Amino acid sequence: MTVRPNWLEEFVNEVCVHLHAVDDAPSLGCHASQADDLWEVTLFFSPTETIGGVRDGERTPCLYLVDVMTLLQVFETVDTASWQPLPLGPEDDLKSHFAIVGTYAGHPVWLRVLAETPEQIEPGRFLDHQSGRILNSW
């Protein structure tokens, strides 16, 4: 298992400043892994899953904006910046996302900000239909 360096947490915190939820922001998920010298960082807001009522089990994605111009400034250098509007195929778990490859604190980073949480990841919060309360799970 790779130990996550301190600069990586600083990087994620700086990136998060440029992600703006439209409504009450749910938890933000982060997956980071290292492949050779490149750190892959994937961020996604949790969906809210309804418990009970006619919408039981329905997942509602978080509406949010990315301040792209200021996000690019987090990086020392930017090699590529791209937007994938649709999944590339049935096996594409990341689906729609914005990606930047560049350097941060001298380290190569591949950042991906997903439009929605991958389906295999459990929601980070639930809306209890009966009480109207939101329950956070991560």
pLDDT tens-digit map of 14-42: 999 999 998 787 889 999 999 999 999 99
**106: in domain:** yes
**48: in domain:** yes
**1: in domain:** no
Query: Which parts of the chain have pLDDT scores under 50?
Result: none
Write out the DSSP string of the chain: -PPPPHHHHHHHHHHHTTEEESSS---EEEEEEEETTEEEEEEEEPPEEEESSTTTT-EEPPPEEE-HHHHHTTSSEEEEEEEE-S-SSTT-SS-SEEEEEEEETTEEEEEEEESS--TTSPPSEEEETTT--EEE--
- pLDDT for 114 equals 97
Query: How many structural domains are present in the chain?
Result: 1
- pLDDT for 2 equals 62
**35: in domain:** yes
- pLDDT for 1 equals 54
- pTM here? 0.90
- pLDDT for 25 equals 77
- Domain span at residue 127 reads 6-136
**119: in domain:** yes
- pLDDT for 24 equals 81
Burial class of residue 1 in the structure, from the number of CB atoms within 10 Å of its CB (0-12 exposed, 13-18 middle, 19+ buried): exposed
